[in-house]
Amino acid sequence: MSLQTVMTVGALEDLRALLGDRLSTSQAVREHHGKDVTYHAGHPPDAVAFAESTEEVAEIVRVCAAYKVPIIPYGTGTSLEGHIAALHGGVCIDLGRMNRILEVNDQDLDCRVQAGVTRKQLNEHLRDTGLFFPIDPGADASLGGMTATRASGTNAVRYGTMRENVLGLTAVMSDGRVVRTGGRARKSSAGYDLTRLLVGSEGTLAVITEVQLKLQGIPEAISSAVCDFESLKGAVDTVILTIQSGIPVARIELLDEVQMDACNRYSDLDYPVRPTLFFEFHGSPGGVHEQSESVAAIAAELGGGDFRWATRQEDRSKLWQARHDAYWAAKALRPGAEGWATDVCVPISRLAECLLATKQDIRDSDVLAPIVGHVGDGNFHLVYLIDLNKPEEIAKAERLNERMVNRAIAMGGTCTGEHGIGYGKIAFLQAEQGEAVTVMRQIKRALDPDNIMNPGKVLRV
């Protein structure tokens, strides 16, 4: 047996004593926990530990630390850049059973949840409080996972991302220490911002077990609308002008004609197969009216059709569910194909140029790749629909992706607006952040000297 195998066997024995049945080494469970929803190759962990408390996570980490066995935290497995693949084996800690909502402070618009609570579960729980939690990646992800990957979604243009909405957290460090960062105050200048350091650290610095979140009051008035455009450029320019005018839209989403076709088919809709914007406006009735009039005027100037309104809750839900299902709709366009989801984010002034050049690249290839985007932030997504048995298709998608990401970086943007680095974008992080990556590496070494925390992600140590 290799040393690594010996160490792993030792760790699993100790964990079995600790967890009993809640340590699984079954192949099905391991494979399920090593593969996310996109094309990146899965790597099953050696075992999956189903933790039930912060203290239990700490004990698991202490065992793994003693044997120098890798640890991979797992929420719902819906990340997109191979974050949960056990590249070096080790123990996956499934936090799904830590799904208690610990407190809701309605007067302070905040709450505290265990890491395994999902965003939909939280909003269901909040239903009667008049409050909601706005961050909404497509999947019903866990709030711990969303924190670890600095998730955002359609509401980010108004409410920010997990960066702005996590007030503090509880985390288990690589030696099993439990730390609580941040607090409930809306602002603080007390010491280093460990909360923000751990938000987006993708399990490579600590295992997040609890999260304190900001909540928002449900707006008095909410109105959604759909508007199709003659050209992609008209749609994107509408977004740019809307943002530059300071209109506080709550959501402004772009779907190109390929994606609209996919959504119509998948979600049983009948929208024109043209570049389209989905809007949502939040505020007082007067404010919503004012915002929507302003945006409609901009759209009309730029080749937009009439606004199709959805004001009833059920119509709005159907609309946004269709948007959230965009990835699955895209996949259904080519049965049997794998979806490779990717994203970039650029300053809003460069959005049209970046999007149109990307669209042209796709046209010039024969890869099917619908475009959707949280365009109010300058963020957009592609799904390359490829046959993994055809290396030439993978190579083509890789070329397209590299061109798009490098273009975004050259425009002052980022290699990922919300999907994260995982193991899919490590080289692009280096290209984007340069020397700053050496500082990230110093922090990684300091907080995880044995490189057991989700090794092989974000950085190569």
Stretch 212-231 residues interacting with a copy of itself (CB under 8 A):
216-217, 219
Shortest distance, CB of residue 29 to a copy of itself, whole angstroms?
A: 28
How far is CA 450 from each of CA 171, 205, 411, rounded to the nearest angstrom? 18, 11, 37
What is the per-residue binding string for a copy of itself in 319-348, x denoting contact by CB under 8 A? Answer: --------------------------xxxx
Q: Contact between 183 and a copy of itself (CB under 8 A)?
A: yes
Site for a copy of itself in 65-94 (CB under 8 A): none
Strand order in the sheet with 47-50: 23-24, 47-50, 91-94, 71-74
What is the distance between the alpha carbons of residues 33 and 176, in angstroms, rounded to a whole number?
22
Cα–chain center distance at 382: 14
Find where tokens 């050496």 sit: 438
**Nearest distance, CB of residue 390 and a copy of itself, angstroms:** 30
Interface stretch with a copy of itself, choices 39-47, 65-73, 113-121, 172-180 (CB under 8 A) = 172-180
- Give the burial string for 120-148 (b: 16+ CB within 10 Å, else e): ebbbebbeeeebbbbbbbbbebbbbbbbb
Per CB under 8 A, 110 contacts a copy of itself: yes
Q: Rule CB under 8 A: which of 263-292 touch a copy of itself?
A: 284, 286-287, 290
Q: Compare residues 248 and 387 and give the one whose CB is closer to a copy of itself.
A: 248
198: Cα separation from own chain's centroid: 15
Q: Does 443 sit near a copy of itself (CB under 8 A)?
A: yes
Interface with a copy of itself, residue 437, by CB under 8 A:
yes
State the minimum distance, in angstroms, from the CB of residue 351 to a copy of itself: 10
User: How far apart, in whole angstroms, are the C-alpha atoms of residue 173 and residue 75?
Assistant: 17
Residue 134: closest CA among 239, 217, 196, 225? 217
The contact mask relative to a copy of itself for 396-435 (x = CB under 8 A, - = no) is: ----------------xxxxxxxxxx---x--xx--xxxx
Provide the residue type at 285 as one letter. P
Nearest distance in Å: CB 26, a copy of itself: 32
| Unique residue bearing structure tokens 């759209």 | 299
- DSSP lists the bridge partners of residue 73 as 93
Q: Is 461 in the site for a copy of itself (CB under 8 A)?
A: no
- Only segment of 3-11, 92-100, 184-192, 265-273 that touches a copy of itself (CB under 8 A): 184-192
Among residues 382, 351, 377, which one has the least CA distance to residue 156?
377
Q: Which is nearer to a copy of itself, 6 or 185 (CB)?
A: 185
Nearest distance in Å: CB 87, a copy of itself: 18
In the complex, least distance from residue 148 CB atom to a copy of itself, rounded to whole angstroms? 10
Instruction: Outline where DSSP puts E strands in 38-107.
Output: 47-50, 71-74, 91-94, 101-105
Supply 30's token pair. 């391991």
The continuous run of DSSP H or E covering 111 comes out as strand 110-114
Among 64, 151, 211, 355, binds a copy of itself (CB under 8 A): 151
Name the residue nearer to a copy of itself (CB basis): 108 or 306: 108
Question: Among 178, 269, 296, 356, which residue sits at the site for a copy of itself (rule: CB under 8 A)?
Answer: 178
Comparison of 53 and 188: residue with beta carbon closer to a copy of itself: 188
Residue 46 in contact with a copy of itself, rule: CB under 8 A: no
CA angle 187, 193, 196 (to 5 degrees): 95
| Residue 381 touches a copy of itself, criterion: CB under 8 A | no
* Alpha-carbon span 263 to 332, nearest angstrom: 9
Q: Whose Cβ is closer to a copy of itself: residue 385's or residue 459's?
A: 459
Contact 444, 372 (CB under 8 A): no
